[in-house]
Chain A
């Protein structure tokens, strides 16, 4: 059974800092890994998707890496801004189950 863990559960940083969010998964037989952002009471916004054959993806100030063999992914946010405050969720797509398995998220607060 696939399990996804995210560390830390919560993080508070001052504006301008670079930060790293961590995600680990137990079954390396994944098709892809997605990072999502969720604002309070809202749905999920996809940030980055990394296919199993890829090592990283970049979008603006965001960079996600994937090490499938060790079951790890990181989301790097450069020069954080107060507007980055949200919960960040990691999810892996397992082909045999055709579903996304989510971690419990990291709640990020960027302070002025």
Chain B
């Protein structure tokens, strides 16, 4: 039973570029949430996708956008990258989008030069 998988593992970009991160949820899960974790901090909620729509959004600018596909996988897009976007990006999946346990992937480490 595959857990949450994220790709790529590591990514290096320069300021102003755009990036796309990918997430496949755990089998049987239909809800995907994205979190940003800066070094030494706890993860911060970016947004959640359910039934291919953004259902909730945290305090992140419009440069952060996402998508969920019919197979429940999801993408996180970040435009006009800033140095402060350097972080570990975590994807979590759950079932039903409610208070069910969230299962996390290993994350994508994004470094901005």
Interface set of A (CB-CB < 8 Å, partner B): 4, 31-32, 34, 36, 41-46, 49, 51, 89, 91, 93, 95, 97-105
B42 touches A97 (CB 8 A): no
Is B101 a contact partner of A49 (Cβ separation < 8 A)? yes
CB under 8 Å from chain A, chain B span 46-79: 48, 55-56, 58
| Given A43-B107, A98-B48, CB of A31 within 8 Å of CB of B42 | no
B33 interface contact, C-beta 8 A: yes
Q: Count of chain B residues with Cβ under 8 Å from any Cβ of A?
A: 28
Contact: A99 with B107, CB < 8 Å? Answer: no
* Cα–Cα, bound, A89→B97 (Å): 21
The residues of B that contact A36 with a CB separation of less than 8 Å are: 104
Which residues of B are interface residues toward A (Cβ below 8 A)? 4, 6, 33, 35, 40-45, 48, 55-56, 58, 88, 90, 92, 97-99, 101-107, 109
Q: Are A99 and B106 in contact (CB under 8 A)?
A: no
Compute how far the CA of A49 lies from the CA of B99 in the bound complex, rounded to whole angstroms. Answer: 11
The answer on a CB contact under 8 Å between B42 and A4 is yes
Asked if A44 and B99 sit within 8 Å, CB to CB, the answer is: no
Asked if B99 contacts A101 (CB within 8 A), the reply is: no
Q: Which residues of A contact B107 (CB under 8 A)?
A: 42-43
Docked pose: A100 CA to B91 CA in angstroms: 12
Residues of chain B lying within 8 A (CB to CB) of residue A103 = 42
